[in-house]
Amino acid sequence: MTLRLVKNQPASLATERAVLGVMMLWNADDAWSPSEIADVITPEDFYRESHGKLFELMLQRYERGEPIDMMSTVEAVHLSGNPDRYGGCSFVSSLSDSVPSTVNVISYAVVIRDTAIKRRLLAKLAEQHDALQRGVSVSEVRAELEATITSPGMERAKAVEHIGSVLQ
């Protein structure tokens, strides 16, 4: 798949860092939980692979009943044997320093999800552009795009309604 149509991939790295930092500040008295964030986003939704890996690590720890505070998460990253996979220990330890607010974490997660959906849609559009250039029929390309729009990963977004009217 070629992404030559997409010069700058949509990403919100500051939002990704904020969600990771907020998760390390979570406590049981908060109005949200890490599992609620996981209902909105997946590790694959993060633009930076290391952010997604760290998110996955924290969710696994949370699901096992282990702490996900900064110290515990940095220790887990260190003990993993490959801290660079998660961005490094100093990166992880700095995440909670610049958290704007813990109250809006679900909104931050929605931004990550929507940005990931934009990347997936742009990638699929670039792929189907190439298919059109190779002579694939418009009806086949349309069917492929509609299948993408209605796939489970895309259904999580309320912003993506129906592409049929755009393609007609």
CB contact at 8 A, 34 and 20: no
Convert the chain into a string of H (helix), E (strand) and C (coil).
Answer: CCCCCCCCCCCCHHHHHHHHHHHHHCCCCCCCCHHHHHHHCCHHHCCCHHHHHHHHHHHHHHHCCCCCCHHHHHHHHHHCCCHHHHCCHHHHHHHHHHCCCCCCHHHHHHHHHHHHHHHHHHHHHHHHHHHHHCCCCHHHHHHHHHHHHCCHHHHCCCCCCCCHHHHC
pLDDT in tens, 2-57: 445 556 788 999 999 999 999 999 998 999 999 999 999 999 999 999 999 999 99
What is residue 50's predicted lDDT score, i.e. its pLDDT?
98
Contact by Cβ (8 Å): 128, 2: no
Separation CA 55–CA 53 (nearest Å): 5
Distance CA 58, CA 90 (A): 16
HSE-up (13 A, CA, CB side) for residue 40? 20
The pLDDT mean for the chain works out to 87
* Six token digits for residue 42: 């997946």
Mind listing the pLDDT tens digit for each residue in 52-90?
999 999 999 999 999 999 999 999 999 999 999 999 999
Reported pTM: 0.82
Q: How many CB atoms are located within 10 Å of the residue 54 CB? A: 27
**pLDDT exceeds 50 at position 99:** yes
